[in-house]
Amino acid sequence: QVQLVESGGGLLQAGGSLRLSCAASGRTFSTYATGWFRQAPGKERDIVAAISWSGESANYADPVKGRFTISRDNAKNTVYLQMNSLKPEDTAVYYCAAGTSYMDLNRGEPDHWGQGTQVTVSS
């Protein structure tokens, strides 16, 4: 079983940067693909970025390409999302997710979800 706890959310102005962290429990975390999703009020939960268990593969949603970077440190059981050049439309609750299938994760079907952390970007 894997438990995920996000941190690092907050309120900031447009153009700023923020780094989200997702700490995972469980010795098998290094074998899981992981990702970040976000859900804005009144909208569906969408994938933001995903990274394979080894860190060799990563993909990003079009709205965040070139601004966000996902990374992981398996020794620390932690996944990060570095967010730069933030925009008001990035405002959402950000969720960490993990799954045994990279493909399923990218389809929005991970095995585990975190509780979410709020990111608010003001204009």
Contacts of 60-69 with C-beta under 8 Å, sequence gap 24+, read 63/89, 64/90
Percent pLDDT > 70 in the chain is 100
Give the chain's length.
Answer: 123
Looking at residue 27, its pLDDT comes to 74
CB 29 within 8 A of CB 3: no
Average pLDDT for 20-31: 90
Looking at residue 30, its pLDDT comes to 87
Looking at residue 28, its pLDDT comes to 82
Average pLDDT for 48-53: 97
How many angstroms separate the CA atoms of 63 and 104, rounded?
A: 21
Rg (CA), the chain: 13
User: Residue 13 pLDDT more than 80?
Assistant: yes
